[in-house]
């Protein structure tokens, strides 16, 4: 698991020299990774055990691994500019995004879901968990009808009444004004499962609603740190704990979203320097960040 994603600017003295890496070095690293890949048997096992591995991750780390994400409101200011918004966060983890947001946005109500039952329990046991403002539930966002629980959650029932159906099959729940997907899609197998996840989230957002996306970018330092035997597929890797990570370009993210009627308002690489004096780290991180709006059905 890449803890550096949330540890920017740790320490203020004796900052180490930045670690720079050339395009030639990047290609050499990628070639070495190609030399020994995860076997098909191991890849299948990782897919089957994805839920178990995330649950074990939260069992080991509990709520200590990620820091609260106070930066998100600055990046996604639309939430604070909307009256009584409903936000759906997919991949809520222990609530490091939603609880700071609830503190800062009066009137905000949150629907929070995660693949890991243990993570959802951590959200529900948080001292600021209030069922009048937040409801958490377990959800595999790649599964068909994964958001059907939205019909039973009290404070979005009125919105769900406005749901629409296409061809009598595809239900658009129209439950959320906003949806956040932060460091989530990367943990899912690329290809069909990425497409299924994005199609599902598009059905949970109302027409005119906005999706906030942030995830790992292609050739991020975390990708280049993987050794041999960890690469599953192109730009897709297994961590030591069995969780997985994919590294995106803005173009492929835009394509995924546009295919289900989510138009880009913005989507690009963002770079953040991570400094940790104690560990002698000074590296540039690469992420993809975007905002997408749901077109009218």
Domain assignment present for 110: yes
Domain assignment present for 153: yes
Domain assignment present for 247: yes
* pLDDT tens column, 37-73: 999 999 999 999 999 999 998 888 754 545 545 556 6
Contact 265, 293 (CB under 8 A): yes
Domain assignment present for 150: yes
* pLDDT tens column, 143-195: 988 988 887 765 655 555 555 665 444 567 788 999 999 999 999 999 999 99
Domain assignment present for 276: no
Domain assignment present for 23: no
Domain containing residue 261: CATH number: 3.40.50.150
pLDDT at 208 over 70: yes
Neighbouring-strand partners of residue 222? none
* pLDDT tens column, 84-111: 899 999 999 989 889 999 988 989 999 9
- How far apart are the C-alpha atoms of 113 and 141, rounded to whole Å? 9
Which range of residues forms the domain containing residue 178?
40-270+287-294
Q: What pLDDT does residue 20 have?
A: 74
Report the percentage of the chain scoring pLDDT > 70: 80
Q: What pLDDT does residue 151 have?
A: 74
Domain assignment present for 277: no
Report the percentage of the chain scoring pLDDT > 90: 64
Q: What pLDDT does residue 292 have?
A: 98
Q: What pLDDT does residue 15 have?
A: 64
Looking at the 3D structure of the chain, how many domains does it have?
1
Burial of 196 (0-12, 13-18, 19+ CB in 10 A): middle
Domain assignment present for 140: yes
- How far apart are the C-alpha atoms of 285 and 221, rounded to whole Å? 6
236-238 sheet: strands from edge to edge: 231-233, 236-238, 244-246
pLDDT at 14 over 80: no
């Amino acid at each position: 698991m890449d803890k550096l994603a949330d540890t920017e600017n740790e320490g203020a003295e004796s900052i180490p020299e930045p670690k720079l890496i050339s395009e030639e070095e990047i290609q050499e690293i990628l070639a070495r990774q190609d030399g020994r890949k995860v076997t098909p048997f191991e890849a299948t096992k990782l897919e089957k055990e994805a839920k178990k591995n995330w649950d074990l991750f939260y069992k080991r780390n509990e709520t200590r691994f990620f820091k609260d994400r106070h930066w998100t409101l600055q990046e996604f200011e639309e939430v604070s500019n909307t009256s009584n918004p409903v936000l759906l966060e997919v991949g809520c983890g222990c609530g490091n995004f939603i609880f700071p947001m609830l503190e800062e946005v009066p009137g905000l109500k949150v629907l929070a879901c995660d693949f890991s039952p243990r993570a959802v329990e951590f959200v529900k046991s948080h001292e600021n968990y209030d069922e009048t403002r937040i409801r958490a539930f377990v959800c595999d966002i790649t599964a068909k009808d994964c958001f059907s629980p939205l019909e039973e959650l009290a404070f979005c029932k009125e919105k769900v009444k406005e749901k629409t159906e296409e061809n009598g099959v595809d239900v658009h729940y129209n439950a959320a004004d906003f949806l956040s997907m932060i460091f989530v899609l990367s943990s899912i197998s690329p290809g069909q499962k990425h497409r299924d996840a994005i199609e599902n989230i598009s059905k949970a957002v109302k027409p005119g609603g906005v999706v906030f996306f942030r995830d790992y970018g292609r050739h991020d330092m975390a990708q280049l740190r993987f050794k041999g035997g960890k690469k599953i597929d192109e730009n897709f890797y297994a961590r030591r704990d069995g969780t997985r990570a994919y590294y995106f370009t803005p173009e492929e993210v835009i394509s995924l979203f546009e295919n289900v009627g989510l138009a880009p308002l913005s989507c690009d690489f963002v770079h953040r320097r991570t400094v940790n004096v104690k560990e002698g780290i000074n590296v540039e991180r690469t992420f993809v960040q975007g905002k997408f709006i749901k077109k009218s059905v």
